[in-house]
Amino acid sequence: MQFLLRAGIYTLCFGASFYALSALDLEKALRKNHVYQARLLYVLLAMALGWLSGSFVISFIYRI
Protein backbone atom coordinates (compact mmCIF):
# COMPACT_ATOMS: atom_id res chain seq x y z
CA MET A 1 0.00 0.00 0.00
CA GLN A 2 2.81 2.37 0.85
CA PHE A 3 4.49 1.70 -2.51
CA LEU A 4 1.30 2.55 -4.40
CA LEU A 5 0.91 5.79 -2.47
CA ARG A 6 4.50 6.84 -3.22
CA ALA A 7 4.23 5.83 -6.88
CA GLY A 8 1.01 7.79 -7.23
CA ILE A 9 2.48 10.88 -5.64
CA TYR A 10 5.58 10.74 -7.82
CA THR A 11 3.47 10.23 -10.94
CA LEU A 12 1.21 13.16 -10.10
CA CYS A 13 4.19 15.40 -9.33
CA PHE A 14 5.89 14.35 -12.57
CA GLY A 15 2.78 15.22 -14.55
CA ALA A 16 2.42 18.54 -12.75
CA SER A 17 6.06 19.44 -13.37
CA PHE A 18 5.73 18.44 -17.03
CA TYR A 19 2.71 20.72 -17.28
CA ALA A 20 4.49 23.54 -15.46
CA LEU A 21 7.56 23.30 -17.70
CA SER A 22 5.37 23.75 -20.76
CA ALA A 23 5.01 27.39 -19.76
CA LEU A 24 8.73 27.97 -20.31
CA ASP A 25 10.12 28.89 -23.73
CA LEU A 26 13.28 26.83 -23.79
CA GLU A 27 13.86 27.40 -27.51
CA LYS A 28 15.37 30.81 -26.81
CA ALA A 29 17.94 29.34 -24.41
CA LEU A 30 18.96 26.36 -26.56
CA ARG A 31 20.80 26.05 -29.85
CA LYS A 32 18.98 25.54 -33.11
CA ASN A 33 18.72 22.09 -34.70
CA HIS A 34 19.28 20.28 -31.39
CA VAL A 35 15.75 18.95 -31.07
CA TYR A 36 16.54 15.58 -29.47
CA GLN A 37 18.84 17.10 -26.87
CA ALA A 38 16.20 19.71 -26.04
CA ARG A 39 13.54 17.03 -25.60
CA LEU A 40 15.83 14.97 -23.40
CA LEU A 41 16.62 18.02 -21.28
CA TYR A 42 12.91 18.78 -20.98
CA VAL A 43 12.10 15.26 -19.77
CA LEU A 44 15.06 15.20 -17.36
CA LEU A 45 14.04 18.56 -15.89
CA ALA A 46 10.48 17.30 -15.47
CA MET A 47 11.72 14.13 -13.78
CA ALA A 48 14.01 16.03 -11.42
CA LEU A 49 11.34 18.57 -10.52
CA GLY A 50 8.77 15.80 -10.07
CA TRP A 51 11.11 13.82 -7.81
CA LEU A 52 11.91 16.88 -5.69
CA SER A 53 8.30 17.94 -5.29
CA GLY A 54 7.19 14.34 -4.72
CA SER A 55 9.82 13.86 -2.02
CA PHE A 56 8.64 17.05 -0.37
CA VAL A 57 5.02 15.91 -0.39
CA ILE A 58 5.90 12.45 0.92
CA SER A 59 8.05 13.83 3.73
CA PHE A 60 5.31 16.29 4.60
CA ILE A 61 2.70 13.52 4.75
CA TYR A 62 4.77 11.24 6.99
CA ARG A 63 5.66 14.01 9.45
CA ILE A 64 2.01 14.66 10.28
The predicted-structure confidence for 36-62, as pLDDT tens digits, reads as follows 888 899 999 999 999 999 999 999 988
Q: What is the model's pLDDT at position 64?
A: 66
Q: HSE on the CB side for 2, CA within 13 Å?
A: 4
Counted domains in the chain: 1
Identity of residue 2: Q
Domain span at 6: 2-63
The model's pTM is 0.82
pLDDT surpasses 90 at 33: no
* pLDDT-based confidence at residue 34 (cuts at 50, 70, 90): confident
First-to-last alpha carbon distance for the chain, in angstroms, is 18
pLDDT at 3 over 80: yes
